[in-house]
Each structure stands twice: as structure tokens, then as C-alpha cells.
């Protein structure tokens, strides 16, 4: 069997899998909605790989996890490496576009900008507080307008005179959007106005104080929205590249890290993990004043991992 390297990105909205071969060529990708149960979704993703022809052609020679749930995923499947999402997204971007200098990454619950110079990450910033700069903002406004997120993006591209909408806060954006509807603006101009508001919020808030230089790469779930891409191109004054693996770039970067590591024998626990009875339960640690809420992951009676602590006690 040929060797393959597995990258797994566990985010707040989606859980993504990528397999690359020994030549670092992508041989499999999967984008799954988390559905509020990351353990179950990870198991489903592993089962899908096992049942795919790829599962019979390749053996997993290395595993790397990333994303907000990287520690949980790493313990669950037996990761050899655990990387933060900034590093993973940058690694994938540089693999596909070596001259990249700015990465715009917008997901369902957070957004990030990564500054790259001469092939190295030199700065980054994240928005973890306000939803106005994330995919959840677009989803909620699309529902309010009676549109699917796909229709939202297509409609935005038809606009020639986007409406100015206050986008620094979801509450203000919604009330401003309703006001613009009431006074008669067309839906396409309101939709494009919302796209411009998100892009302005990102460049003015997340990117504050950062030097934004082309080439620009746009990745994450929101990058599939053509209206947002258009908005960034207007504000930045340069083309914005959406890579072919834009939805799974974190997982791709993780897979590349695994392929480039000198792993003699992988800690991967195998596809049988998808069939195991794995449960989680929370408790509070009273060891100090932090009163951390710890999540215990168990397979039958065996503890696989503890997650959520602020010190080394439960790692």
C-alpha cells in the first residue's frame, strides 16, 4: 500500500479532512458540518475515508490536527503533530501560492488576517468577539432576507450601487438593513452593501495597524461567497485569489506538515476509531481559583484525553 498523510481541521462550524500522498499531492478532501458533536463528526469522517477507495489504496503514515478542537481531535485519533490554525493555513497557502503576502481567512465564528513576508508568517490578528466580521453574520442576514447563502452571493454580484450599511456591529447592521428595505432600496444593492460592510469591518478592525500587501489569498468558508470577494477587491484595490481548496486549507496545511515530518511510526489509532463508543463529560477542577471546566473524553472505561484546563494539570 502507498503512504498517505492525514490533515484534520476541527473548527467551530466544520470539520475537514485532507489526505496527501508522498509527493504532497491531494488525493482526498472532505468538508463536514460539525452539527454540535465534533467527536461524532470526526468518527463519520474517518468512516467515510475507510469506505472510500482511498482507504484501500493508502495507509496513514502520519497525522496532524489543527483548529480550535485540535487537542481533542489529536487525542481521539492519535495525532503525531498538533498545529495552530495560523501555521496550518499559512503552510497551505504557501504551497499553492508561494508569493502570498496576505491571507484573509473568514470562518463561521471567527476571522483572521495573516501577514507573510519572504515565505514566513511575521504577524497575524484574529477577531473572536464580534460576529459582524464572520460567516454567521452573513448567514443570519441571508435568512432575514429569505435567501440561501448561495443566492445571497449571486445577488450581490448583480449590484451596481451598493447601499452603505453600518457593519461594525450585528445589531446596528440589522437595523440599518431593515431601514434601507423600508425606504425602497433594491435587494441586490442591500445584499452587496452587507458584503461591503463585512469587508470594511474586517479591514478596519481585524487588520488595523497591519500592512496589507498583494498577492492576497482568501480562504475559509466565507471565501466561497463571490460578493465578499468582490467587496475585498474593491477595498484593497487588487485581485483577491480564492484557492482551489479554499474550504479545507487548514486541513491541507496540516496534511503537509505531517508529510514533511520525520515520522518513523505513526500514532494514528486507525479507522476503527469510527466504530468505538466514545463519550465526553464535563467537570470543574477545584485545584485553584481558576475553577477550570474540564472535558473528559473516554472510550469505554479508558480516558483518552482531558481538555479545557489553563495549566498542565490535565494535559
Give kind and range of the element (H or E) at residue 44: helix 38-51
Alpha-carbon separation of residue 139 from 60, 64, 142, 179, 194 (angstroms): 36, 30, 5, 19, 11
Give kind and range of the element (H or E) at residue 63: strand 58-66
pLDDT at 177: 76
d(CA 315, CA 309): 8
Residue with the three cell numbers 464580534: 130
CA angle 40, 42, 47 (to 5 degrees): 95
Confirm if 8 and 22 have CB atoms less than 8 A apart. Answer: no
pLDDT at 238: 97
Model pTM score: 0.87
d(CA 97, CA 277): 41
pLDDT at 79: 95
Instruction: With a cut of 70, list the residues of the chain below it in pLDDT.
Output: 35, 128-135, 167-173
Confirm if 114 and 45 have CB atoms less than 8 A apart. Answer: no
d(CA 253, CA 18): 9
Domains of the chain: 2-87+251-276 (3.30.420.40), 98-242 (3.30.420.40), 277-315 (no CATH)
Amino acid at each position: 500500500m502507498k503512504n498517505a498523510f492525514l490533515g484534520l481541521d476541527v473548527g467551530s462550524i466544520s470539520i475537514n479532512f485532507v489526505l496527501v500522498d508522498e509527493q504532497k499531492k491531494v488525493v482526498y478532501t472532505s468538508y463536514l458540518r460539525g452539527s454540535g458533536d465534533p467527536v461524532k463528526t470526526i468518527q463519520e469522517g474517518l468512516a467515510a475515508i475507510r469506505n472510500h477507495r482511498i482507504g484501500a489504496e493508502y495507509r496513514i503514515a502520519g497525522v496532524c490536527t489543527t483548529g480550535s478542537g485540535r487537542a481533542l481531535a489529536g487525542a481521539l485519533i492519535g495525532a503525531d503533530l498538533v498545529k495552530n490554525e495560523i501555521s496550518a493555513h499559512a503552510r497551505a497557502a504557501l504551497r499553492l501560492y508561494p508569493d502570498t503576502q496576505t491571507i484573509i481567512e473568514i470562518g463561521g465564528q471567527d476571522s483572521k488576517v495573516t501577514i507573510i513576508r519572504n515565505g514566513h508568517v511575521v504577524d497575524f490578528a484574529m477577531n473572536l468577539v464580534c460576529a459582524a466580521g464572520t460567516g454567521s453574520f452573513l448567514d443570519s442576514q441571508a435568512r432575514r432576507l429569505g435567501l440561501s447563502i448561495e443566492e445571497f452571493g449571486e445577488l450581490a454580484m448583480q449590484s451596481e450601487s451598493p447601499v452603505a450599511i453600518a457593519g461594525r456591529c450585528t445589531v446596528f447592521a440589522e437595523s440599518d438593513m431593515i431601514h434601507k428595505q423600508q425606504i425602497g432600496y433594491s435587494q441586490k444593492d442591500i445584499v452587496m452593501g452587507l458584503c461591503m460592510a463585512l469587508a470594511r469591518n474586517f479591514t478596519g478592525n481585524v487588520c488595523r495597524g497591519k500592512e496589507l500587501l498583494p498577492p492576497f489569498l482568501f480562504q475559509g468558508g466565507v471565501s466561497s461567497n463571490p460578493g465578499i470577494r468582490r467587496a475585498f477587491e474593491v477595498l484593497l484595490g487588487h485581485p483577491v485569489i480564492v484557492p482551489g481548496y479554499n474550504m479545507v486549507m487548514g486541513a491541507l496545511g496540516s496534511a503537509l506538515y505531517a508529510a514533511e515530518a520525520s515520522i518513523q511510526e505513526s500514532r494514528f489509532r486507525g479507522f476503527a476509531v469510527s466504530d468505538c463508543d466514545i463519550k465526553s463529560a464535563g467537570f470543574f477542577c477545584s485545584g485553584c481559583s481558576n475553577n477550570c471546566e474540564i472535558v473528559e473524553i473516554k472510550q469505554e472505561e479508558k480516558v483518552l484525553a482531558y481538555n479545557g484546563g489553563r495549566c498542565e494539570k490535565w494535559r
